[in-house]
Amino acid sequence: MRSFASDNNSGVHPDVLAAMQAANAGHCVGYGEDPWTARAIDLLHRHFGDHVAAYFVFLGTAANVLGLSAVCRQYHSVICAETAHINVDECGSPERFGGFKTLTIPPEHGKIAPGGVRPLLHGFGFVHHSQPRVISITQCTELGTVYTPDEVRALADLAHEHGMLLHMDGARLCNAAASLDLDMAALTRDCGVDVLSFGGTKNGMMYGEAVIFFDPALAHDFVYIRKQGMQLASKMRYVGAQFEALLGGGLWLDNARHANAMAARLAEGVRRVPGVEITRPVQTNAVFARMTRRAIEALQERYFFYVWDENLPEVRWMTSYDTTEGDVDAFVRDLQECAGL
Amino acid sequence: MRSFASDNNSGVHPDVLAAMQAANAGHCVGYGEDPWTARAIDLLHRHFGDHVAAYFVFLGTAANVLGLSAVCRQYHSVICAETAHINVDECGSPERFGGFKTLTIPPEHGKIAPGGVRPLLHGFGFVHHSQPRVISITQCTELGTVYTPDEVRALADLAHEHGMLLHMDGARLCNAAASLDLDMAALTRDCGVDVLSFGGTKNGMMYGEAVIFFDPALAHDFVYIRKQGMQLASKMRYVGAQFEALLGGGLWLDNARHANAMAARLAEGVRRVPGVEITRPVQTNAVFARMTRRAIEALQERYFFYVWDENLPEVRWMTSYDTTEGDVDAFVRDLQECAGL
Amino acid sequence: MRSFASDNNSGVHPDVLAAMQAANAGHCVGYGEDPWTARAIDLLHRHFGDHVAAYFVFLGTAANVLGLSAVCRQYHSVICAETAHINVDECGSPERFGGFKTLTIPPEHGKIAPGGVRPLLHGFGFVHHSQPRVISITQCTELGTVYTPDEVRALADLAHEHGMLLHMDGARLCNAAASLDLDMAALTRDCGVDVLSFGGTKNGMMYGEAVIFFDPALAHDFVYIRKQGMQLASKMRYVGAQFEALLGGGLWLDNARHANAMAARLAEGVRRVPGVEITRPVQTNAVFARMTRRAIEALQERYFFYVWDENLPEVRWMTSYDTTEGDVDAFVRDLQECAGL
Amino acid sequence: MRSFASDNNSGVHPDVLAAMQAANAGHCVGYGEDPWTARAIDLLHRHFGDHVAAYFVFLGTAANVLGLSAVCRQYHSVICAETAHINVDECGSPERFGGFKTLTIPPEHGKIAPGGVRPLLHGFGFVHHSQPRVISITQCTELGTVYTPDEVRALADLAHEHGMLLHMDGARLCNAAASLDLDMAALTRDCGVDVLSFGGTKNGMMYGEAVIFFDPALAHDFVYIRKQGMQLASKMRYVGAQFEALLGGGLWLDNARHANAMAARLAEGVRRVPGVEITRPVQTNAVFARMTRRAIEALQERYFFYVWDENLPEVRWMTSYDTTEGDVDAFVRDLQECAGL
């Protein structure tokens, strides 16, 4: 039975797995000096721009922490939404490994805007104050919402006006691109993003994310930071092979579109269930909803999923590249039964 | 001319300086194994309890950072007011040296209460989440307000119920004690405080603060942390001598009472000046006020002081152990002239 | 063509890959709460003892850094051979992430002994001195040599007498076990090892290592350290599946034995080549040798491999689970041609 | 009674103390924006060069750790003598605060030379290897010996050839200058030193050291690092006043010359005592000697001093700016009595 708990509960897309098998051919040099990695980097150039500097790491937390560590010294601060993954889901790894300070602002459905950031842009040159260095946003957000290109550009402009950088946690960037029907460069490079965590695991890969610097000068010592961050894979070819499968054709987009479509179908079904209220705009592959505690408990006896906010209570359901219409419809039926309890 | 910018703009109280001179007698062993340090530690025992573990460091930021580092591992979080010194005035030293995460809540006039802390007390045992470990408060606060013993106790109880600790930044604890007319143990030990930064510099000393652990078990490896934190003075006797002068008789209280009285006098004067509004309860040695930008600029031509919040704008004026009635009255007269501009 | 550069230049053993494919079956909960991980942990219990605490990470550097970070505070020191992976091959990740100090001693063919360690066992309780906390050894060593159980036990005893711990970097523990014809518990638990990095990648896996604490109390907060160390895999089932394939039957031993046998065959061949001198005891899957620079360069035109020590010069050749007799014999023939140049 | 344990067992020179008292005049702005600090910085310019960037910190460990942290990122390494203060006397503070790796070489009487450093200058650009960044020497050394200008220059040249820097721990630089009869610029700037810890505490001050960058570009963010390193004194004028007293006239040199002369006298006396062997060249204010354990214990009943090396055993005796000829002669007499036991 497929889960609605998280898009990382799914397995690996068959095409990705096939590519990994195909890469299992004899010996090759380790640590990224292999042809699979080279081809995957080429594909990142094709998607994000010829001049980007791109590096593979194992997982999304590492992509965020190492990308930020490359551009921050320890007296810097990173400004993000209270709900940002770097703030609530990484167990303080940014502070421990990077040493910098995280400053948060209350988001609207996971999104921040220049008006919320501006009050934190002070104390430049004041030695008692962590120096603002990065604005970090998540695209799509932890709440499943998307930033329009204009919204991203506005934050990038604000950052650059202050000599700062814009970082994007793109663990689900493909879902955002599918939602906006834009290519990934249009959502990143063209909007002024400086550092990107580009996710593969939640879109059908087994493991592997990329850190992308749109100005390669920012990456001048990243290889050492990656090694120190315990993210330099010896058999990196298998990461390269996965990204090649994802990005070589349309798989990245097909997977994301499908997951988004299943969330839309789920939202449509949920809206028809009395006693359940959708709480966030459904723009990608997540549906957030409120219902009674009793209904939540009943449904959790049938499905594992997370209560997002115990106080409301609010729950999160996510769809994946392999969620089927049947899965969704069965879930809605179960929800109907539980919601009435 | 005496400043109203900060209580660290004053010099050293003559009795403290005399004690330092008296300590300048021949050779003694370094790093705290001297009789002055021993006597000062005895005095801390007398003021805070026989069983506390007490250590000297150079400055307040170090007292906070090292005290918290002793009780936190890097996956812990420390909850404090947005206005806390550890959050806004230490340039991220807690994150860099301690590695833990700082979580903030909006305070009321610098104070936090259980109701504000509770929403952050979740995620215990959830591996993605920094583990809440300490509630940190400042007494008196950065806004010059004081916590009553009951308010401190309520926060200590909340912390202890969750297996957490209460830390107090007491850079100006003497001023709080003077304001409440209570001894320092009544404000700390008796209210459940676990770790205290006890300040001397702002109350007439040249340099030197103490870190006090009410349960000595919490301090079992603090001597190494202090050394690593670059706070182990070789000629520590001069720190000991200063604390001996401050705590041996009533100097700590006289100094604090005087500073508080001067702030009260200042507040009284300010209240009579049209166009100037006092914005915070005046409970210790700080007065916060709003006035026009033009008036601020005019006054800043005569006195150096800090604009606390550029947006309102709100300014901060502080009094010291050596502020005189004449200083205050002259300042009020100048204020009157400037406020009318 | 198969490489003699490193045992991580090989691919994934077919049985391991098949297990990964078999694990690609529908959805399951992430972050290690899946049946594959559970079964792999059970196998680690079977191999190392019922009560060990075992955790998966992505790679060997992480296993070392996180295992040591779990048992060291930042004022501790770790004593190891100058040639230890933690000292020369991890780009200072132990110092950066763990914060502790590494002290080195000159090894004999990669091995250290109590006589070399003892001079560093001083300064206990002396606050200026990093406190000795761990002796770390590599089994088999970076030079391909093995510690006998008695040798390991002697170091463990020395550590324990001083309230210290013994850490073993077992990236190639299987090769050591094969060499000594002992099971892995006999080489670790039974000799007093406290913390073990157990490697899978160099023995036929794609990625994945385990950190094993023989006293689970040492691991009481390891899950947070792993998360902070960016090593908590979301789709952990694929790590579990690999270890299950390796440890469920005899694959771990077959692979290691084969690699060792190929190195023995290689050494035998090399010994017959004039002008090439084997420099280290060949006990596992590595052969170190000296030859002229000209011969090295000629051979490197045909094969990629590392010069271990530029000064001598000394080279390293490694065999893998999939090195064939034909590979070895061809390599020796090539060597013969090059050595004569 | 004056101690021969360390030059930090002495008190504060009367002229320095008088300057501190004189600085205790009214209010002034904190954190170094005061005239005393300004004048002291001017004096550092006069002694070390007009263009140096100079900053005050509290103590020598901080000067070393922060100076190195300013020029190293965490994947860098610092090469020093095994006996270096940063390696053995700072409890791992460099590793904890700076994060970089310390590599050591066996010194000769505390000194290192290019021949010893060169074998560590490899692995540039190799991502697994901490990148060599700094050679650090102590002048005078922890063994009381001095580097000639040519010796310093040779190390600086070696560093610069490799794109590295030369750091000097000058906690006792004045003693070296007195020994060599050279000014301090001749020993630092003119020899190619890049970063200097310049000590005051061991030469008659109460507390306070300076970090000096000969290329100010290296210091571009040092003010934040100092704040994070908990070394930004609020009442900095008292540090400035001390340095002004030390450097304004000849006090720095008189104090150092006197201490050195007393060590020379002590050495002369010791040489006449049968059973005591001086083990190091006596070039500044330290005398190292071997004698029987029984003699050491007997003498330690009369004087507190450190056993430097328990194995030999070897002891260290130090003289200070206020050691008198009578002190020395009495000590030698006591030594005579004890050595005969």
H helix intervals, chain B? 14-23, 35-48, 60-71, 85-88, 93, 114-117, 149-161, 173-180, 184-187, 222-228, 237-248, 251-271, 293-302, 325-339
Q: Chain C contacts of D127, Cβ < 8 Å?
A: 91
As separate numbers, helices (DSSP H) first and strands (DSSP E) second, chain C gives 14, 11
Q: D65 and chain B: CB distance < 8 Å anywhere?
A: yes
DSSP state of A235: T
Q: Which two tokens stand for residue C123?
A: 């300064």
Are A227 and C97 inside 8 Å of each other by CB? Answer: no
| Same domain assignment for residues B102 and B233 | yes
Neighbours of A268 (CB within 10 A): 14
| Same domain assignment for residues B85 and B105 | yes
pLDDT-derived band at B311 (thresholds 50, 70, 90) equals confident
Sign of CA dihedral D135, D140, D145, D147: positive
**What pLDDT was estimated at residue B306?**
92
Question: Nearest residue on chain A to B124, judged by CA atoms?
Answer: A91
Which residues on neighbouring strands pair with residue D317, listed in sequence order? Answer: D287
| Same domain assignment for residues C235 and C214 | yes
**What pLDDT was estimated at residue A28?**
95
Q: C7 and chain A: CB distance < 8 Å anywhere?
A: no
**What pLDDT was estimated at residue C80?**
98
- Give backbone dihedrals phi and psi of C196, rounded to 5 degrees, phi first: -130, 135
Longest dimension (CA), chain D: 60
Question: Nearest residue on chain A to D222, judged by CA atoms?
Answer: A127
DSSP per-residue codes, C177-217: HHHHT--HHHHTGGGT--EEEEE-GGGT-SS-EEEEESSGG
pLDDT, one tens digit per residue, over A181-207 is 999 999 999 999 999 999 999 999 999
pLDDT, one tens digit per residue, over B145-196 is 999 999 999 999 999 999 999 999 999 999 999 999 999 999 999 999 999 9
**What is the rounded (10 degree) CA torsion for B276, B280, B286, B288?**
-30
Q: D227 and chain B: CB distance < 8 Å anywhere?
A: yes
Q: Is B115 exposed, middle or buried (0-12, 13-18, 19+ CB in 10 A)?
A: exposed
Interface probe, candidates D29, D71, D75, D234, chain A, greatest A C-beta count within 10 A: D75
| Same domain assignment for residues D243 and D255 | no
CATH number at residue D268: 3.90.1150.10
DSSP state of D108: B
**What is the rounded (10 degree) CA torsion for B71, B72, B78, B83?**
70
C-alpha closest to that of C97 among C65, C131, C130: C65
Select the residue of B73, B128, B221 nearest C75 (Cβ to Cβ): B221
Are C227 and B127 inside 8 Å of each other by CB? Answer: yes
| Same domain assignment for residues C37 and C173 | yes
Residue C107 C-beta-side C-alpha neighbours within 13 Å: 25
Q: B96 and chain A: CB distance < 8 Å anywhere?
A: yes
Are A234 and C8 inside 8 Å of each other by CB? Answer: yes
Q: A95 and chain B: CB distance < 8 Å anywhere?
A: yes
Q: A218 and chain D: CB distance < 8 Å anywhere?
A: no
Are C90 and A201 inside 8 Å of each other by CB? Answer: no
Select the residue of D17, D59, D96 nearest B24 (Cβ to Cβ): D17
Last residue of a domain, one of A187, A222, A247: A247
Residue C3, in any domain of the structure: no
Residue C75, in any domain of the structure: yes
| Same domain assignment for residues C71 and C145 | yes
Residue D9, in any domain of the structure: no
H helix intervals, chain D? 14-23, 35-48, 60-71, 85-88, 93, 114-117, 149-161, 173-180, 184-187, 222-228, 237-248, 251-271, 293-302, 325-339
Q: Chain A contacts of B133, Cβ < 8 Å?
A: none
| Same domain assignment for residues D61 and D207 | yes
C128 to chain B, minimum CA–CA distance in Å?
7
Question: What is the rounded CA–CA span in Å between residue B3 and residue A337?
Answer: 71
Q: How many residues would you count in chain C?
A: 341
Residue type, C45: H
Last residue of a domain, one of C203, C230, C247: C247
Model confidence at A1: pLDDT above 80: no
Are B127 and C232 inside 8 Å of each other by CB? Answer: yes
**What pLDDT was estimated at residue D121?**
97
Interface probe, candidates A77, A122, A130, chain B, greatest B C-beta count within 10 A: A130
Are A221 and D75 inside 8 Å of each other by CB? Answer: yes
Question: What is the rounded CA–CA span in Å between residue C17 and residue C23?
Answer: 10
Residue A328, in any domain of the structure: yes
Q: Residue with structure tokens 């960044």?
A: D133
Are C232 and B75 inside 8 Å of each other by CB? Answer: no
Distance from chain centroid for Cα C116: 22
A216 to chain C, minimum CA–CA distance in Å?
22
Percent of chain D with pLDDT over 90: 98
Question: What is the rounded CA–CA span in Å between residue B282 and residue B263?
Answer: 7
Residue C307, in any domain of the structure: yes
* Residues near D205 by beta carbon (within 8 Å), at least 6 away in sequence: D12, D13, D16, D242, D243, D246
Q: Residue with structure tokens 């190293």?
A: D72
pLDDT by residue, tens only, chain C of 341 residues: 789 999 999 999 999 999 999 999 999 999 999 999 999 999 999 999 999 999 999 999 999 999 999 999 999 999 999 999 999 999 999 999 999 999 999 999 999 999 999 999 999 999 999 999 999 999 999 999 999 999 999 999 999 999 999 999 999 999 999 999 999 999 999 999 999 999 999 999 999 999 999 999 999 999 999 999 999 999 999 999 999 999 999 999 999 999 999 999 999 999 999 999 999 999 999 999 999 999 999 999 999 999 999 888 999 999 999 999 999 999 999 999 999 87
Are B26 and D8 inside 8 Å of each other by CB? Answer: no
C-alpha closest to that of A62 among A208, A241, A216: A208
Q: C37 and chain A: CB distance < 8 Å anywhere?
A: no
Give the count of domains, chain D.
2
Mean per-residue pLDDT over chain A, rounded: 97
- Give backbone dihedrals phi and psi of A105, rounded to 5 degrees, phi first: -135, 150
**What pLDDT was estimated at residue C7?**
93
Are A224 and D127 inside 8 Å of each other by CB? Answer: yes
Residue B304, in any domain of the structure: yes
CB D227 within 8 A of CB B94: no
C-alpha closest to that of D147 among D101, D108, D201, D197: D108
Percent of chain D with pLDDT over 70: 100
Are C65 and A230 inside 8 Å of each other by CB? Answer: yes
CATH number at residue C167: 3.40.640.10
Orientation angle between helical segments A173-180 and A251-271, nearest 10 degrees: 70
Give the structural domain span for A278.
251-339
Model confidence at A2: pLDDT above 90: no
| Same domain assignment for residues B152 and B199 | yes
Residue D290, in any domain of the structure: yes
Angle at D142 between CA D141 and CA D145, to 5 degrees: 40
Mean per-residue pLDDT over chain C, rounded: 97
What DSSP element (H or E) covers A306?
strand A306-309
3-class state of residue A208 by DSSP = coil
* Residues near D21 by beta carbon (within 8 Å), at least 6 away in sequence: B17, B21
Q: Are strands C286-290 and C277-278 parallel, antiparallel or unpaired?
A: antiparallel
Question: What is the rounded CA–CA span in Å between residue C316 and residue C296?
Answer: 11
Select the residue of A77, A96, A311 nearest B92 (Cβ to Cβ): A77
**What pLDDT was estimated at residue B1?**
73
pLDDT-derived band at B312 (thresholds 50, 70, 90) equals confident
| Same domain assignment for residues C194 and C257 | no
**What pLDDT was estimated at residue A176?**
98
Question: What is the rounded CA–CA span in Å between residue D216 and residue D44?
Answer: 14
B195 to chain D, minimum CA–CA distance in Å?
19
What's the whole-number mean pLDDT along residues A131-157?
98
H helix intervals, A118-232? 149-161, 173-180, 184-187, 222-228
Orientation angle between helical segments B325-339 and B251-271, nearest 10 degrees: 30
Which chains does chain B touch, 3 or more C-beta pairs < 8 A? A, C, D
Are D89 and C122 inside 8 Å of each other by CB? Answer: no
Q: Chain D contacts of A224, Cβ < 8 Å?
A: 73, 75, 127, 131
| Same domain assignment for residues A90 and A170 | yes
Q: Residue D140: is the preceding peptide bond cis (ω within 30°)? A: yes
| Same domain assignment for residues C110 and C153 | yes
Q: Chain D contacts of C68, Cβ < 8 Å?
A: none
3-class state of residue A326 by DSSP = helix
Q: Which of residues 136-195 of B touch D (CB under 8 A)?
A: none
Q: Which residues of D244-260 are buried (b: 16+ CB within 10 A; e: fewer)?
A: bbbbbeebbbbbbbbbb
| Same domain assignment for residues C25 and C145 | yes
What's the whole-number mean pLDDT along residues B5-15?
96
Residue D257, in any domain of the structure: yes
What's the whole-number mean pLDDT along residues D215-237?
98
Residue C210 C-beta-side C-alpha neighbours within 13 Å: 29
Question: What is the rounded CA–CA span in Å between residue C288 and residue C317?
Answer: 6
Q: Chain B contacts of C127, Cβ < 8 Å?
A: 31, 223-224, 226-227, 232
C-alpha closest to that of B305 among A130, D29, D38, D33: D29
B26 to chain C, minimum CA–CA distance in Å?
24
Are D29 and B92 inside 8 Å of each other by CB? Answer: no
Percent of chain B with pLDDT over 90: 98
CB A215 within 8 A of CB A21: no
What's the whole-number mean pLDDT along residues D198-226?
98
pLDDT-derived band at D1 (thresholds 50, 70, 90) equals confident
CA distances from A304 to A285, A297, A327, C27, D188 (A): 17, 10, 14, 11, 67
Last residue of a domain, one of B247, B277, B292: B247
CB A247 within 8 A of CB A224: no
Residue C139 C-beta-side C-alpha neighbours within 13 Å: 33
Q: Chain C contacts of B71, Cβ < 8 Å?
A: none
What's the whole-number mean pLDDT along residues B3-25?
96
Q: Residue with structure tokens 């190392």?
A: C48
**What pLDDT was estimated at residue A341?**
74
Q: Which two tokens stand for residue A165?
A: 């950088």
Distance between the two ends of chain B, CA-based, in angstroms? 23
Question: Nearest residue on chain C to D126, judged by CA atoms?
Answer: C91
Question: Nearest residue on chain B to C76, judged by CA atoms?
Answer: B224
